[in-house]
Structure 1
Amino acid sequence: MADAAASCAEHPIATRPHSLIAIAAAILLAGCEQDTQAQTSQSRSLQDASFDFFVLSLSWSPSYCEIEGADANRQQCNSGRRHGFVVHGLWPQFERGWPEFCDSGEPERVPNELVSKTIDIMPSAGLIGHQWRKHGSCSGMSQADYFVVVRDAWNQVTIPDRFRNTRSDMTIDPDDVEAAFLEANPGLPSDGFATSCSGRYVSEVRICLDKALDFRSCEEVDRRACSIDDAAMPAPAR
């Protein structure tokens, strides 16, 4: 926020004397002030929101596609969609339990403009809409602000190299998945996330973040970790 304000203050257009440029400068600085106010308002609404922390759920997309088969969302799972870890959702969470399907005053439908800005990390319009209705509506934020925070949360996490550009199926101990995330993300506590399984497949990595999007411990999430020794992680479809 401070950097944004500084860049506005230092913009060269604000120092030129000509009247047209002065008008342009006034418009620029007003826009910067609005951006700063919006960021402040977003931060304040997060801190005041009636939940305790976030869970960023990262889905291993090939597992979802394999499990759902013909019922999988084709926008996400068509041949050539080489998705690995993607955002399943950003979930407001209590220390015990979580809220769902809240009355937010926002539309249920996510507009196409927001979908197009988000679909690179949440790879289907259906997923984006469902996650807003079930979880985003409980964040205390507008749709626009919520999906900004979803991307910020995604950017906080480094996907381990071994899970990027995967070309072959893997059988893996879920503890090794967690070890890879710990190594790739300094500051992530060992009790601050969990690998989840669906049947024999690694399905998700769920990472706990406070309202400032810093890593934090979360006992309830941690104890729901996958308990099988060998789990499947299919390669993305070619």
Structure 2
Amino acid sequence: MRLPSRLALWACLVIAQGCRTHHEPPPAPPPTPPIATARPLHLASPEAIEFEFGRAQATACNCFKSDATAKEGGACDTPRFGSYLLALTWAPTFCRTHPDKEECEHLEDTFGATHLTLHGLWPQFNDEEARELNCTYPAFCGGLCECKNSDAPSRCFPDPATIPPAMGTYGPGFVTDNFFLANHEWPKHGSCTGMDARTYFQSNIDALLSLPGDQGTPAALRDNVGGSVKLEDLRASFGQGDSVAFACDPGCNLMEVGICFAVDDQRRPSARMTCPKSVTSGATNNCVGNGSQPRCPTVKIQAAKPFDPGGGPSSTCGQPGQGPACTNDQLCQNQGWVRCARSGCCTTVPKR
């Protein structure tokens, strides 16, 4: 039966309107690409890192070139590495040339006056890796090359909430001076470990507390504060002598202790191991030197210098966080620094 013409027209209009108002569901948004910075620990296996960054090459930002004019290349992979160097500071020596650091104020009343404190946990290539890559350690990995610059973007720096509270005792430089040491150690070294920032900072503390003695400081060191100790006795106090390196200033005052660790399957430090040649033959081990006789057969263990609120000029400027020598704030501000610290060096740390 044929519909009346008006009814047929109405039916067509309804059908046409339905076609116009029917919408296809919107397409799903494209997935957000992963940001190549810190990775959760469960994703930090060598296989996962290789999948994310490609097979490791000698492209970390600080890989050395045989041709000194060659430009640094590559995209800063997170490489495989065979060891860690735990760098520990003897603060009484450090603070004599860095009196402007907050961690050095009233040092004589702190943990660092009688104990080693954390400088950092640094991935190192073992001897075979170093020969293959022509590079002794990776740095600024996972796309963080831009973090080398003085105007590094905020994404380079870790969230202060990832720093364990215990770091205030064991690594005061990580939390003082506006988190200066954390902001340096994480992008340069932590980014190459495959750990997230919180796990990296905790691994620093765990490695320190695994050492002999009281909270990582052997009695041979603590019992000789203000005196001296034979280098070989100091080495023996840490156990496994080939896993320890000692740095001294020109006067044979202890500056730093380096401990070499193997790497476990989660990319964390595990058992102590023989240090790579890049550690034993470098500045990290300059108390020993390269000759048949140690450069410093006896090592001086300086005591904390009483705090002087008037301060005095530092013997050297240009250390990390320091600018050139100065006598007033204006000289520093003219060169882009914040003020002249009581060390006699320009600094970016404002007065509190």
| TM-score of the two chains, using structure 1 as the length reference | 0.69
Distance 1:232 1:99, change over 3 A: same
- Please state whether the residue corresponding to 1:145 is helix, strand or coil: helix
Distance 1:47 1:235, change over 3 A: farther
Aligned residues: 190
What is the distance in 2 between the residues matched to 1:198 and 1:116?
Answer: 31
Greater gyration radius? 2
Segments of 5+ residues of structure 1 without an aligned counterpart are: 1-37, 183-187
| Candidates 66, 74, 87, aligned match of 1:57 | 87
Cross-structure match for 2:202? 148
8 Å CA contact retained: 2:164, 2:202: no
Distance 1:131 1:46, change over 3 A: farther
Distance 1:104 1:209, change over 3 A: farther
Cross-structure match for 1:163? 221
8 Å CA contact retained: 2:164, 2:201: no
Please report how far the alpha carbon of residue 120 of structure 1 lies from its aligned counterpart in structure 2 after TM superposition. Answer: 2.1
Cross-structure match for 2:246? 195
What is the distance in 1 between the residues matched to 2:234 and 2:207?
Answer: 19
What is the distance in 2 between the residues matched to 1:150 and 1:171?
Answer: 27
- Please state whether the residue corresponding to 1:153 is helix, strand or coil: helix
What is the distance in 2 between the residues matched to 1:111 and 1:235?
Answer: 34
8 Å CA contact retained: 2:163, 2:201: no
1:107-122 correspondence runs (5 A): 107-117=155-165, 118-122=167-171
8 Å CA contact retained: 1:81, 1:237: no
The residue identity in structure 2 corresponding to 1:93 is Q
What is the distance in 2 between the residues matched to 1:89 and 1:233?
Answer: 21
Cross-structure match for 2:45? 44
The residue identity in structure 2 corresponding to 1:233 is I
**Higher mean C-alpha displacement, 168-177 vs 203-212:** 168-177
Higher helix share: 1
Cross-structure match for 2:261? 209
| TM-score of the two chains, using structure 2 as the length reference | 0.48
Please report how far the alpha carbon of residue 63 of structure 1 lies from its aligned counterpart in structure 2 after TM superposition. Answer: 1.2
8 Å CA contact retained: 1:42, 1:145: no
Distance 1:137 1:174, change over 3 A: same
Aligned sequence identity (%): 26
1:29-40 correspondence runs (5 A): none
Cross-structure match for 2:300? 232
Segments of 5+ residues of structure 2 without an aligned counterpart are: 1-39, 50-78, 131-135, 145-153, 265-269, 288-294, 307-352
Superposed CA RMSD in Å reads 2.7
Cross-structure match for 1:24? none
Distance 1:167 1:196, change over 3 A: closer
- Please state whether the residue corresponding to 1:129 is helix, strand or coil: helix
8 Å CA contact retained: 1:173, 1:229: yes
What is the distance in 1 between the residues matched to 2:238 and 2:170?
Answer: 18
Cross-structure match for 1:85? 116
- Please state whether the residue corresponding to 1:228 is helix, strand or coil: coil
The residue identity in structure 1 corresponding to 2:158 is V
Runs of 4+ in structure 1 displaced over 4 angstroms? 45-49
The residue identity in structure 2 corresponding to 1:119 is G
